């Protein structure tokens, strides 16, 4: 594929809670770090002619988490999508 020919990039965000647990951090810290990395990744796409970026950041399974964690995830989505 030639450079600058990508049109759509999709990212499945997974493993942030495990990342935090492996480091002895709260799950929320992992989610925040994941959001920062997505921003960095999106910025790295600036030199490409990308029309669409899809972030799969919240699945139906995530609703089974604690209300505190769901709230944290929703707040992060609002903060970073702004």
Give the pLDDT confidence of 31-79 residue by residue, as tens digits.
Answer: 999 999 999 999 998 888 888 999 998 889 999 999 999 999 999 989 8
Among 4, 49, 62, 75, the active-site one is: 62
Contact 73, 28 (CB under 8 A): no
Name every residue whose Cβ is closer than 8 Å to that of residue 53 and which is 6 or more positions away in sequence.
8, 9, 10, 11, 42, 45
What is the total residue count of the chain? 82
Q: Is 4 designated active site?
A: no
The predicted model scores a pTM of 0.79
State the chain's maximal CA–CA distance in angstroms. 45
Whether residue 82 has pLDDT greater than 80: no
Q: Look up 82 and say whether it is catalytic.
A: no
């Amino acid at each position: 594929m030639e450079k600058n020919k990508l049109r759509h990039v999709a990212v499945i965000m997974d493993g942030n809670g495990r990342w935090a647990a492996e480091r002895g951090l709260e799950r929320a810290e992992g989610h925040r770090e994941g959001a920062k990395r997505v921003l960095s990744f999106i910025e790295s796409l600036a030199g490409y002619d990308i029309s669409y970026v899809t972030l799969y950041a919240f699945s139906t399974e995530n609703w089974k988490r604690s209300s505190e964690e769901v709230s944290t995830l929703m707040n992060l989505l609002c903060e970073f999508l702004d």
